[in-house]
Structure 1
Amino acid sequence: MSYLLGGVALAALAAAIAIVRSFRPAPLPAPEPWAGPLPEAVPPPTMAVYQLPTGTYENRAFLAYRGGAFRDRRRFAATAVLVRHPAGDLLIDAGFGADVDAHLATMPSYRRTPHEAGATVRDQLRAKGYDMTRLRGVVITHAHWDHVSGLDSLDAPVWLNPAEARYVARARDAGVFRHVTRHHEIHHYTFDGPPYLGFPASHDVHGDGSVVIVEAGGHTDGSVVVFVTLPGGRRYAFVGDLTWQTEGVTLRAERPKVLQLLADVDPARVRASLRRIIALAGRVHVVPAHDVRAHDPIPLWSES
């Protein structure tokens, strides 16, 4: 995310958001709840997910969603998720890397947020004796720096769809991605599967329905949602930056208009995908990438 402002700029943005709020109601129209069956999935018994927090940065709720309080300071997550599967493990996003300070320094000064860096994904995996040959790749929800910084210390293929490949080739905000992946293998995948839970196209990673990536562009050209189904039937939707906090789902609250213009390449597409996720609330556990609270039900890799 990385949109904490300072001083006069912060006050000016607060005033602008207040004006915009007065002209447009905050909540999105409520979609019809998903009433159909959930897609078939046959996850293997040994499949599991773990969170690997790599640090946090500070932001204000009023910048994250419409109706958020100016005084509500929150720790925003920079957390990777390890999905273990006998056919090969995947990471969803990479968190902060060893050179996080240098990566943050590439951002404009008004987007350099106060942050606390923890152990990188690589260090956390090695501390538990993880066999790195099991890591099939890193699926990025999108190519912004705070989702890919940790690629600087990971030797694993980076999964990229065609729309996000176009984004990283042209976008200034993908500079860190281009830098940290210059020596990485890029695994190109396509949305070769049918519609999935209201999303127009999908890619079933293992062919068993346990990990399904869906097309959800709008924040970036090729941003995605990753659905994970575990043995026992619990389902997660890792939604990246469709919303920065869970209130985007529970309150149907979009980003403030000013932040939409700064952060999203196509706010209308983000809105459509967010409403699809809202329709699934209660059927799947939604995990916005930057909401620390949403990661709480996922066990820590360090305690595995």
Structure 2
Amino acid sequence: MPCFRTRFCTLLASAFMAVAAHAQTPVPSPATLPDVGFAIIKTSQVAVPEVLLVPGGSVTRQVHSNFSAFLVKHHNDFLLFDTGMGSQIDRQYQQGMPLWWRPFFKYDKPVASARAQLDQAGMPPLKRVILSHSHWDHAGGVQDFPEASVGVAAAELVRVHAPSTGPGGTWESQIGAASIQWEPLVFQPVPFKGYPESLDVFGDGAVVLVPMPGHTPGSVGLFVTVDSGKQYFLVGDVVWTMAALQQGAPKFWVAGKLVDDDALQTQASLEKLRRLVQSEPDLVVIPAHDSAVQDPLGYFPAWVR
């Protein structure tokens, strides 16, 4: 039956579209959430020659490098480990990435920021963000979470207060806002998994931070023990892929010179991680950019539990 009242038809059509859009948006209910678990939020990716990420890899074969954030749930608390690309990344990139490095350090558009994905899923605003380190592809969404404190190691605060540009920089456009609520992470002399210092975030051993310096002075990793009892280790950019970790190989030499603050210290952190994996083969290590590890685990709103 045709509609003769245009305004009514328009409103009716809008209502149907809204219902349909809502039906397509997976909204996690409390019953579907883990008690302790995490979700990988992929904000963007980029295809790069395999040789840049995998020692001995192909020059012609392309593999995906992810830009991911990690949403950690601990009972009734949530925190975000890294932010990936944020809603303002295009402007930040124009200001922070020199023209001559843009062909080599880039990202796919459109970007699906962590904040946009969380808002779409009906998640409440987060109160805590922790950065594995302050590079552009990890801190790009800091300003999307004005309600949250932003935790970094004390050594990383030095970079925050003296920002620089480039692929290995800490960009003023991302971390320079006076409104950002910085939270210095205070590690305790409590050994954990072979690391001499640690920070037990919730006091029960389920979510534990450890220093992993080298890539930047204040780089940190995060252990998460989920409902199943399985333990995961989010290691930021200490290593870019598990293939490189298995070989104990440093980053591709040109990239390493650009992004690793201290090559020897980075290699020492990699070797420590390698020894841990050899001693605990059930531990799952998740480099921040390794799509081969992240794809099988799934992406938000799917949860690792």
Taking structure 2 as the reference length, what is the TM-score of the superposition? Answer: 0.79
For residues 262-277 of structure 1, the aligned pairs below 5 Å read: 262-277=258-273
Q: What is the rounded CA distance, in whole Å, between the counterparts of 2:180 and 2:136 in structure 1?
A: 16
Q: Report if aligned partners of 2:214, 2:264 keep a CA contact under 8 Å in 1.
A: yes
For residues 107-256 of structure 1, the aligned pairs below 5 Å read: 107-112=97-102, 113-132=106-125, 135-155=126-146, 156-172=148-164, 173-176=169-172, 179=175, 181-256=177-252
How far 1:200 sits from its partner (Å)?
Answer: 2.6
How far 1:204 sits from its partner (Å)?
Answer: 0.6
For residues 22-171 of structure 1, the aligned pairs below 5 Å read: 46-86=35-75, 88-105=77-94, 106-112=96-102, 113-132=106-125, 135-155=126-146, 156-171=148-163
1:214 aligned counterpart, secondary structure: strand
Give the AA of the match of 2:118: L
How far 1:259 sits from its partner (Å)?
Answer: 2.6
Greater length-normalized contact order (CA 8 Å, ≥ 6 residues apart) = 1
Instruction: Find out whether 1:295 has 2:299 as its counterpart.
Output: no
Q: Report if aligned partners of 1:142, 1:224 keep a CA contact under 8 Å in 2.
A: yes
5+ residue gaps in structure 2?
1-33
1:55 aligned counterpart, secondary structure: strand
Give the root-mean-square deviation of aligned CA atoms.
2.1
Q: Report if aligned partners of 2:49, 2:58 keep a CA contact under 8 Å in 1.
A: yes
Q: Identity of aligned pairs, percent? A: 31
Deviations 1:9-41 (A, max 9, x none): xxxxxxxxxxxxxxxxxxxxxxxxxxxxxxxxx
1:117 aligned counterpart, secondary structure: coil
Q: What is the rounded CA distance, in whole Å, between the counterparts of 1:183 and 1:117 in structure 2?
A: 27
Instruction: Find out whether 1:285 has 2:296 as its counterpart.
Output: no
Q: Which consecutive aligned stretches of 4+ in structure 1 deviate over 4 angstroms post-superposition? A: none
Q: What is the rounded CA distance, in whole Å, between the counterparts of 1:185 and 1:197 in structure 2?
A: 30
Q: Which residue of 2 aligns with 1:259?
A: 255
Taking structure 1 as the reference length, what is the TM-score of the superposition? Answer: 0.79
1:96 aligned counterpart, secondary structure: coil
How far 1:150 sits from its partner (Å)?
Answer: 1.4
